Amino acid sequence: MAKRPAAARGLPALGAAICRCRACPRRVAWREEVAANRRAAFADQEYWGRPVPGFGASDAVIGLLGLAPAAHGGNRTGRIFTGDRSGDVLFAALHRAGLANQPTSVSRDDGLELRHTRIFASVRCAPPANKPTPEERDTCAPWLHREVELLRPTLRVVVALGAFAWSAWWPTLQAVYGLAAPSPRPKFAHGALWFAGGAPRLLGCYHVSQQNTFTGRLTPDMLDEVLSRAKTLAGLG
């Protein structure tokens, strides 16, 4: 597994390689089962049913690190955070921040473009119950590491959307930047900031899931504040 991500010479090649991955039997079975048994509202659509690559600028200064594609969102449309409620909240905020050319994200060919920003997931296939196992996270980690490695020349800030993404950053720090994870590990919190010389700043943000946005735990103002801070940290003013 480790050799295939390393062999990808650019982000397009990496994305193509990710899309062919079948390293986790449970994930492969689940993503394909969901694709075969579509939700009624999407019965006329062909589901992607494969791993979902990163999306956005190849010279991004801001990275948004999520959990995993949603079963009927990214796993349906083939683009991360596209076609689900989490994405509705996220892309509207990115548009308000001037980091996206439009506030909506509904399909791979909807014209959406990100500015200075790339979105990628800690694991690339939709997990059952939206909960990847630690083993699956570790198996998928080399894809994340290679994506960050390819972005390394420009990447200045990583916004971790939730505690799972926050925890996925420490092995990335070691693999890409050669920096040992701090001990004890800094705890995830909304607004938490961590950095070490040579690595991008890590900024915590509650995940944009419905559990958080429908309950008011994460409001649009809170998300705007995080993105504004990320822009400042990345030197975008």
Instruction: Please report, as ranges, the residues that interact with ligand SF4 according to CB under 6 A.
Output: 18, 21-24, 27-28, 51, 123-125, 136, 139-140, 143
**Residue among 93 and 123 whose Cβ is closer to ligand SF4:** 123
Residue 47: what are its φ and ψ, rounded to 5°?
A: -75, 150
Closest separation between CB of residue 67 and ligand SF4, Å?
12
Query: Least distance from C-beta 18 to ligand SF4, angstroms?
Result: 6
What single letter denotes the amino acid at residue 119?
I
- In the complex, the smallest distance separating the C-beta of residue 206 from ligand SF4, rounded to whole angstroms, is 23
CB of 192 to ligand SF4, least distance (A): 26
Considering the complex, state which of residue 21 and residue 89 has its C-beta at the smaller distance from ligand SF4: 21
* C-alpha dihedral, 145 to 150 to 155 to 160, nearest 10°: -30
Strand order in the sheet with 62-66: 55-56, 117-121, 62-66, 157-161, 201-205, 193-194
Minimum distance from residue 146 beta carbon to ligand SF4 (Å): 12
Residue closer to ligand SF4 (CB basis): 22 or 131? 22
Nearer to ligand SF4, 175 or 196 (CB): 175
Give yes or no for a contact between 137 and 123, defined as CB atoms under 8 angstroms apart: yes
CA dist 198 → 12, 104, 116, 157, 221 (Å):
26, 34, 19, 11, 30
Q: What DSSP line would sit under 43-105, residue for residue?
A: TTS----S----EE-TT-SEEEEES---TTTHHHHSSTT-SSHHHHHHHHHHHHTTSBSSS--
Non-local (6+) Cβ contacts of 185 within 8 A are: 167, 170
Pairing state between β 117-121 and 62-66: parallel
Whichever of 24 and 97 has its CB closer to ligand SF4, that residue is 24
Type of residue numbered 205: C
Token pair recorded at residue 13: 């090649």
CB of 121: closest distance to ligand SF4 in angstroms?
Answer: 9
The smaller minimum CB distance to ligand SF4, of residues 141 and 230, is found at 141
Decide whether 49 or 51 has the Cβ nearer to ligand SF4: 51
Minimum CB–partner distance for residue 40 and ligand SF4 (Å): 26
